[in-house]
Structure 1
Amino acid sequence: MPTVRLGFIGAGGIAGFHLQNLQRVPEAKVVAFADPNLDAAKQRAEQVGLPAREGETVFGDWQLMLERVEMDGVLVLSPHAHHFEQIVAALQRGLHVLAEKPMVVTSEQAQKVVLAARQAGKQVVVSYQRRFTPVFRFIRDQVHKGALGELTFVEAVIGQDWQQLTQGTWRQMPELSGGGMLMDSGSHMVDFVLWTVPNAPVKVSATISQCGAPVEINDIVGVQFSGGALGALIAMGNFTHFMERYTFVGTEGAMWLDRGQVVWQPMGGEQRVVEAKELPPASTPDRHFVDVVLGRVENMSPPEDAFKVVTLTTAAYQAAATGQTVAVPSLPA
């Protein structure tokens, strides 16, 4: 059985999530951790039964890990603003990358990551879990098959007690996070919408509020897609709990996801709840990353798509700051 050797840049809370996923991937072998908090790196090493030897398997400096450890890929799990430098450095060393969302925090950085990956001939997979979750994949597949006809409207809502959960952490420090709720948890919502809608976004308007925080907490983003469809994206960062809801309306019907259930209604027809047996199989970004590295599958979450997410997000921030409608640039050929 082939083995994919992996290093972690970042040993914080999200690293535990990825380690749980990788424990179910027999081809994956975690060989090193790097984190400014060396104790955190050592704890993660112990968690996977890796001898915690400073300068060999655990590092306070991620660059030193890239220099010293033989690896096939790295997971970039650091604060958002650090992603760009770390992703590009890994690619230049011939490593594949699984990057936490958002991939980077500016469209210029995203464009450079796309170019760096192409030049290196290596893969960047962005960890957008909904792309591997059955209910989300089902909706996306049906929209792209034309089951709803031509899309005319999209509504997406994500809510979380994000302001409370992130208070006092780097996620509310703009220089490290790149933004607030929309850049962080809201990134999943933006990605799912852009992945599902066949047409590209062309312009956005937005209103945001900070609710006394250093970054924005609540966002209302209006999107116009090529072809004329409209979108309303709402991120509530001071909600009571985590929730998300999506509605896709087309000329032939509507489909919506609420509380984990997909409901489908043709125009003039009856509503029905999509049954579990109709859904595609589940996976994880980590399982997918290993399969991509081994050449078994095509990359389902490439940097070109992540470019679209960060570009729309930063365009929304610009629209909110200026009170103007802002064009959403596309990736240059």
Structure 2
Amino acid sequence: MTSGAPSVRTGIVGLGNIGQHHADRLAELGVPLVGGMDVSAEARDRFADRYGVETYADHHRLFDDIDAVVITTPNKFHEEYAVEAFDRDLHVLLEKPLAHSIESAERIADAAADADSTCMVGFNNRFRNTVRLLRERIDRGDLGEVTHVEANYVRRRGVPGRGSWFTRREISGGGALIDLGVHAIDLALYLLGDPDVQEASGVTRSEFGSREDYAYLEMWGDDSGPGAFDVDDSASAFVRCAGNRTISLEVAWATNRPPTHEFVIRGTEAAARFDLMENELTLHSASSDGTDHFVDATIEPRENDPHAAEQRAFFEAIDAGREDGSGVEEALTVQRIVDAIYRSSAEGHTVSLEKRLQEV
């Protein structure tokens, strides 16, 4: 909890499940929740009943009364709310991804650069204690030079409700890649030290969500069938960065394999392995001290709530007067990689990100 957090009047735009999750974390931090906005009357009524705050059908009135806003709307609508918030110099915590398209993401990044306020993009996995501990080990040189990250974010059966905004390309901008893949890409870049990205190649697939006989045990939301699904449900990709640093990426909403959220970080002195579903980090190395031998060290950090830690960092950045709380430019790089993978899959070749940056 920061000394400045209680004075930051905060609102939420988008009052669905993730909006309520953020509201709960705000309450835990003691941050004043002024109100919320949603186009759905049902969502507004539910939020007002649960949190005892005023709700709005229009964001302008909410923005008049707040200092900071958490934006949790479907991807297509991020730009509308974020750009106006920046125009008013409001502090913004924007849920990932930056937007539904690269063009929209670039407009958000431009508005953030011109604003006199703090912006954070919601890549909450950076704030897990396991990841923080690993980053500390990397920074002090325990892994040597980190050269490659294997990033896996794979579900066995986890297609969101077909017919929800997640499965409609016009609103979401894509499927598993833009939903899960952005988390995996951001975390990989973060652990590599945010290198310049040169090129990406990949293939996106729709193998399960478009099937009438899609078999599953549970589904988030109602199922309207394959006719309401026009996005990817998996992606395989390879990303090349400056200094011959690389990322291999596997993401999926559905596969015929056991699920895994495993990340393997390879360095010249050691490697590390963790799974986002576990609270454990393993370091792997070899030594010639005495007889040659392998060393596998398991570390179990204290568990934490990464969303709460993310919010705490956001308000600490506001309190310290930092304009960039957690990487709008980094989030834009993630969006450019996602765009390149989609283009690579459609066009059948590697896509240069350096060329796009020159064009922009």
TM-score (norm 2): 0.83
Which residue pairs with 2:148 in the alignment? 153
Of 100-109 and 183-192, more deviation after overlay is shown by 100-109
Question: Which aligned pairs between 1:223-262 and structure 2 lie closer than 5 A?
Answer: 223-239=239-255, 243-258=260-275, 259-262=278-281
Residue in 1 aligned with 2:231?
A: 215
The 1-side partners of 2:171 and 2:28 are apart by 32
Please state how far the C-alpha of 1:320 moved relative to its aligned partner.
Answer: 0.7
2:37 aligned residue: 34
- Deviates most, 233-242 or 280-289: 280-289
Retained in 2: the 8 A contact 1:204–1:315? yes
Contact 2:116 2:323 in 1 (8 A): no
- Give the residue type in structure 1 aligned to 2:286: M
Match of 1:4 in 2: 8
Residue 151 of structure 1 contacts residue 249 of structure 1 at CA under 8 Å; is this kept in 2? Answer: yes
Contact kept in structure 1, 2:118 and 2:325, CA below 8 Å: no
Task: Please report how far the alpha carbon of residue 92 of structure 1 lies from its aligned counterpart in structure 2 after TM superposition.
Answer: 0.5
Q: Deviations over 1:89-147 (max 9, x none)?
A: 11101211110110213333333323212222111111111111100112223223332
Alpha-carbon distance, 1:17 to partner: 1.1
On the 8 A contact 2:117/2:323 being kept in 1, the answer is: no
Conserved 8 A contact 1:163-1:217: no
Would the alpha carbon gap of residues 318 and 145 (structure 1) be closer, same or farther in structure 2, given more than 3 Å must change?
farther
- Cα gap change, 1:316 to 1:162, in 2 (>3 Å): farther
Using the aligned pairs only, state the percent identity. Answer: 27
Q: CA offsets per residue over residues 163-198 of structure 1, 9 Å max, x none?
A: 533322011111100111110122211110111112
> For residue 283 of structure 2, what is the aligned residue in structure 1?
264
Per the alignment, in what secondary structure is the counterpart of residue 260 of structure 1?
coil
* Structure 1 stretch displaced more, 200-209 or 145-154: 145-154
Give the aligned residue type for 1:262.
L
Pick closer, same or farther for the CA change 1:306–1:182 going to 2, 3 Å.
same
Q: CA deviation at 1:236?
A: 1.6
Contact 2:317 2:323 in 1 (8 A): yes
Give structure 1 stretches of 5+ with no counterpart.
51-56
Q: What TM-score do you get using the length of structure 1 for normalisation? A: 0.89
1:164 to 159, 163, 167: 159
User: What are the within-5 Å matches in structure 2 for residues 61-76 of structure 1?
Assistant: 61-66=58-63, 69-76=64-71
Can you give the 5+ residue segments of structure 2 that lack an aligned partner in the other structure? 211-228, 288-293
Q: Which amino acid aligns with 1:207?
A: V
Residue 34 of structure 1 aligns with an amino acid whose one-letter code is M
Does structure 1 residue 20 correspond to structure 2 residue 24? Answer: yes
Match for residue 54 of structure 1?
none
CA contact (8 A) 2:92 2:119 kept: yes
Change in CA separation of 1:197 and 1:323 when aligned onto 2, cut-off 3 Å: same
Contact 1:21 1:287 in 2 (8 A): no
Q: Is the 8 A contact 1:22 1:287 kept in 2?
A: no
Q: Is the 8 A contact 2:148 2:192 kept in 1?
A: no
Q: In terms of mean alpha carbon deviation, does 136-145 or 206-215 score higher?
A: 136-145
Contact 2:185 2:334 in 1 (8 A): yes
Q: Which residue of 2 aligns with 1:58?
A: 55
Q: 1:200 is aligned with what amino acid?
A: D
Distance 2:144 2:346 in 1: 36
Deviation by residue 1:269-328 (Cα, 9 ceiling, x = unmatched): 310101327x99965222222222222778552211111111111111111111100112
Cα deviation per residue 1:176-231 (whole Å; 9 max; x = unaligned)?
Answer: 00111110122211110111112222111101111224100110011112111222
Is 172-181 or 299-308 further displaced after alignment? 299-308
Between the aligned partners of 2:157 and 2:334, the Cα distance in structure 1 is: 20
SS at match of 1:121: coil
Q: Can you list the C-alpha shifts for 1:54-81, whole angstroms capped at 9, x where unaligned?
A: xxx3222224433xx3110111111001
C-alpha contact 1:162 1:237 (8 A) present in aligned 2:
yes
**Alpha-carbon spacing, 1:145–1:200, altered in 2? closer, same or farther (3 Å):** farther
Distance 1:39 1:8 in 2: 16
Say whether the 8 Å CA contact 1:224–1:230 is kept in structure 2: yes
2-side partners of 1:99 and 1:238: how far apart? 27
Partner SS for 1:263 = strand
Letter in 2 for 1:244: H
Output the CA distance in 2 between the equivalents of 1:296 and 1:121: 9
Superposed displacement of residue 47, structure 1: 1.4
- Number of paired residues? 323
Q: Indicate the residue corresponding to 1:43 in structure 2.
A: 46
- CA distance in structure 1 between the aligned counterparts of 2:190 and 2:118, rounded to whole angstroms: 19
C-alpha distance in 2 between matches for 1:135 and 1:298: 27
